[in-house]
Copies of this chain bind each other. A is one copy, B any other.
Amino acid sequence: MSIDSDIENNDIFYMRQALQEAKAAYDEGEIPIGAVIVCKDHIVARAHNNTEQLHDVTAHAEMVAFTAASNTLGSKYLTECTLYVTVEPCAMCAGAAGWEQIGRIVYGAPDAKRGFELLGHQMLHPKTEVVGGVLEEECAALMKEFFKKRRG
């Protein structure tokens, strides 16, 4: 196995964990987006979108996960961490990732309307690597199902 395919397998493994979080959000009536943060092959935070329960439109999966990861690691920055998130982060979450100096961002489905990539990578730390499209179809399908059901 090459190093590249090892990384790819890891990414799929952790994205499945993020998808589990997204499914938990779905079951709670939250927009189904999930995230995990991984540091040296350990999950240091897992979270899902929690805007309804917390009555807080900023309680995105990524924001909750960043704060949890910093608490777990007792560290100000997340330079050695990877954020796995089922949907492309918005500008707020990408801006937060910039302050956290996160090492990598791996996302599932793109978000054509609110995704940060529309605005470029300027709000991220220059060293942050970004990979999109991991388990894209599964991540997108959960979102489609949720909004279809909500429209009734």
Instruction: Give how many A residues have a beta carbon under 8 Å from the other chain's beta carbons.
Output: 27
Roughly how many angstroms separate A123 CA and B118 CA in the complex, as a whole number?
A: 10
Q: Interface of chain A, helix or strand or loop or mixed?
A: helix
Which of A6-33 touch B at CB < 8 Å?
none
A37 to chain B, nearest CB (A): 13
- Which B residues touch A122, using CB under 8 A? 91, 118-119
- Which of A51-59, A130-138, A142-150 faces chain B? A51-59
In the complex, what's the smallest C-beta–C-beta distance from A47 to chain B, in angstroms? 13
Q: Are the C-beta atoms of A100 and B70 separated by less than 8 Å?
A: no
**Is A36 among interface residues, defined by CB-CB distance under 8 A?**
no
On whether the beta carbons of A67 and B58 are closer than 8 Å, the reply is: yes
Q: How far is the CA of A94 from the CA of B116 in the complex (A)?
A: 12
